[in-house]
Structure 1
Amino acid sequence: MKSYAVFLRGVNVGGITIKMAELKEALKSRPFSGVKTLLASGNVVLSSGLPAAGVEKEFESCLREAFGYEAWVVVLAAERVGELVAACPYSPDDTSTHTYITLGSDSDVLAELYDAGSAMEGAGLIRLGSEALTWIAPAGGTLDSPFSKLSSKPRYKAYTTTRNLRTMVKVRDAAATL
């Protein structure tokens, strides 16, 4: 059994509402154990004998069947979440900025997003690996930041999801208890 973190894309925004208790119940029929949901933004930690690609396939299938929407998730081994948090050079507690980690299920699409955003002033865009990059936005100005607007374009919707660094720390800590 291996521990994973699963990050859902686009839940509890844009009309797709999933209660985490209902998600946890739906996942009982899948080859997962130790399922824990965190926050209401679609963060799950679990154990499975499946490889990451198998977890992704089962999880997305469950979301489609149980909640009736075209679901996309990013699945990372629990230890990789810890490595990404450790590699992020920004503080989760800076009061003047918010730190984000954008996760991608397709390394080529994430590289394209990185290339498109790397010239943006003030984004502090840093590649953390083939599946993640980090960036900052002014406190209170995330949605208006140029990189946030770029990363929310339809081109990237099915392949990326973004979490605040504080959320990633919580996911890392929860995954460590599996």
Structure 2
Amino acid sequence: MKYCAFLRGVNVKGTNMKMADVCQVFSGAGMENVSSVLASGNIVFTSDKNAVALRAVLEKSMSDHFSYEAFLFVKSREETENLRNGNPFKKNDDLHVYAFIGNEGIEEILMKEFNDASKAKHEEAAIINHIFYWQVPKGSTLDSSFGKILGRKDLKDRVTTRNINTFDKILKKMA
């Protein structure tokens, strides 16, 4: 089965790694047809194991090799398509849209945080099929009240984000 592993916290805040090295770790852990998409920790591969088993194996392999506490989320091609296709927001060149990949139930926690945060003009959020989507004006992602929440330590092993456009690149690689 084809999967994408979405790594959290790669190439930010001192956790720097080359995607070629990450791909070698995945191959060493038994994954096949391994390749990366962008430098932000999106690894496409095939395996006959299920996503739960893969997550445990890959987090341990990454942690051991890079000497950091690795967090990642493994999604099948179908789940990755659902992440892309569930986007409720219309394309607007002035706005970024992010999909959140995380543990079960994280979307409700994120929506509560979003509802409690101050918002910029055109900043919106929605939950579609248990996936949290966030639209924010370009240039405001890290400065927004909600954006600052995303760096909290209590969320680090529970969620990661990707710009909606990243899914097009990942799905092309998975084809």
| Contact map agreement 1:85 1:169 (CA 8 A) in 2 | yes
Report matched runs for 1:167-178 at 5 Å: 167-176=166-175
Conservation of the 8 A alpha-carbon contact between 2:110 and 2:132: no
CA distance in 2, matches of 1:37, 1:26: 12
Question: What TM-score, normalized by structure 1, do the two folds share?
Answer: 0.90
What whole-Å deviation, never above 9, does each CA across 1:124-154 have from its counterpart, x for those lacking one?
A: 1111333x31111111111111221122211
Q: Find the aligned partners of 2:66 and 2:60 in 1 and give their Cα distance.
A: 10
Shift of 1:31: 2.2
Taking only the aligned residue pairs, the percentage that are identical comes to 30
Equivalent of 1:98 in 83, 96, 99: 96
- Distance (Å, rounded) in 1 between the aligned partners of 2:159 and 2:96: 18
Give the match for residue 44 of structure 2: 45
Q: How does 1:111-130 map to 2 (within 5 A)?
A: 111-120=108-117, 121=119, 122-130=122-130
| 3-state SS of 1:125 partner | strand
Match of residue 6 from structure 2: 7
Mapping of residues 1-178 of structure 1, within 5 Å: 2-91=1-90, 94-104=92-102, 106-120=103-117, 121=119, 122-130=122-130, 132-176=131-175
Question: Mind listing any 5+ residue stretches in structure 2 that lack a counterpart?
Answer: none
How far apart are residue 110 of structure 1 and its match? Answer: 3.4
CA distance in structure 2 between the partners assigned to 1:133 and 1:174 by the alignment: 24
The alignment of Structure 1 onto Structure 2 pairs a total of residues equal to 172
When the two chains are superposed, the root-mean-square deviation of aligned CA atoms in Å is 1.5
> Partner of 1:118: helix, strand, or coil?
helix
Shift of 1:100: 0.7
CA drift at 1:108: 2.8
